Structure 1
Amino acid sequence: MSAAWTAGGVRARALLRRRAGAVGAREVASCASLAEAQQLLSTGPYQRHLRVGQSLEQTEHAVAATLLWHLRVLAGWQPRAGAELVRLLAGWFEVANVLEHVRSLTGESTGELYRLGTLATAWPRLAATTSLAELRDALAASPWGDPGAADPWRIACGVQLGWAARVAGGVSQASAWAAGAAALLVARARFLLGRPAPESALLGPEVPGGLAAFAGALPGEAAWALVDVQEPADLWRAEERWWTRVENDAHTLLRGPGFGPGPVVGCAALLALDARRVRAALELTAHGGRRVEVFDALA
């Protein structure tokens, strides 16, 4: 293994100190108000973009923006192959920007965009489009692929499934995560929201029937995400199980011998998990405060 991988792995593990941790996130969930939670976070690893007095949406964006910054730092420490892994995993932020751009093009109110820097895939070109048709064309000419139609729903589903496909194809350590995520996304769309979803190569051809038939037809690398899910109301538990597997796999990757892609992927996953926990804690605090038992069920 090259010296660059070794140095990148050492620094990746060091970056894991920039987390609130399960205990820190629980403290956020136990705050009596959003302002109190902001004050708590303003002295910790998420202080970079966070300000006391922000709205819930702004605070959640600040937490995610700090995660993005950590991923940019992580990518900067890696050899080229490692930086590409981080860029693929960080595709969630470009997806989020595309969704905000779609809202802007359809006249809806929009939130802040993420500053992707070198982790961007095609964002500068996508951001320059001025209609949904132009956006579809730009996506089709990029690694994201053609969403199949120029309507907001198909573009939203298309980029999310496109991210899953890109991760599965480029990050072997995360291929099962990506396939499981694609299965969850399509299941939510079809059986919870009653909306069509584009086909995904990760899931195989569409099968008629309900959720059980869909889950039973999934290929092995995606099927795990919907094991024992019988009703659409159970999908939230499946999503929590998805995150549990990601966390367990990430720790396994970090415990592996030597240095290489594994620790980098594991680090990125654990940083993302931490940001998710903190954002969930903020949601609970902003909608009543001190609902720690609910947070425990989610975390």
Structure 2
Amino acid sequence: MKSLLPSNESQFLRFLELLGRKSLQDCDLKSIDILPQSTPSEILPQLALMFDIDITNLNEEEARKLLSNAILMHKNAGTPKVLKTALNAVFKEVEIKEWFAYAGTPFTFRVKVSEPTKSFDERTLALLDYLIEEYKNVRSVLEAVELEVTSENQSFNASVSVGGEILSVLPYQTTQASNVNSSFIGAGIFVCEITMPFLTLLVKLDIKAFLAMLCVGLSCALCFFLWQNSSLKQDLLLKDLELQQANLNLKELNLVIEKQNEAFKSLQVQKSKVNTTAIKEIVLKDSSCEAELRGYKDLFKELGK
């Protein structure tokens, strides 16, 4: 193993290096973990000392978050980003408002902290004050701190409304159509015969089971009667529609007959009045055939006028 000491170092330091090399050459150095997120909790204070980060009042989880950003925090020291990173190690949501964002006094700022799981007790408030004073720049002055306690609710409420209409297209109905109501009377009989084996089964069964079976049987009977009633209502509705259609056809037939009668009346031959004055003036001079024939001719001429 090569020496890491410069060539001009003293013999004493080289002797110490030799002792350390012999003590560590049989050790497995691969198991040493100095990553803040995975290192054992006993090494966290040494990491904090190495990174020059104070984790005195922080718990293990908060210390690991703060140490994991140590290099970036030293690189950007004094900026609002570093202050927000330090506060995010302890609090879930952090918002920093500088003075020009809310028209405040120059070189002042405000901090808003939101936490849904922690309470703002004395330890939390002291830690908040320490982190702000430690990681803000020297020029800026804290004007106000806004504390917000939020509550996350995972329940969801939803509602659905479904609406619709059922339209039935019926035949044309006249206002003067007569309506005949037909009534139907139905009766049902439920007969149950109990035999001796059934009584023996009832004795063995629990009363609750018997009542359940009885309820099921009555429910089936009720469903049958409801279905029968619905079928009778449909038949009644069809009969009413047929009756209305028959009344409508009868009315149309009556109208056709009335029109036909009016047409017959218009073709009726009116009896004309005959003027009998000229007929009375026809006088038969004698009873000979020529006289009678001449008289009939005059008669027809008068009738033909």
TM over 0.5: no
Give the TM-score of the pair, scaled to structure 2: 0.21
- Bigger share in helix: 1
- Bigger share in strand: 2
Give the TM-score of the pair, scaled to structure 1: 0.21
Higher relative contact order (CA 8 A, sep 6+): 1
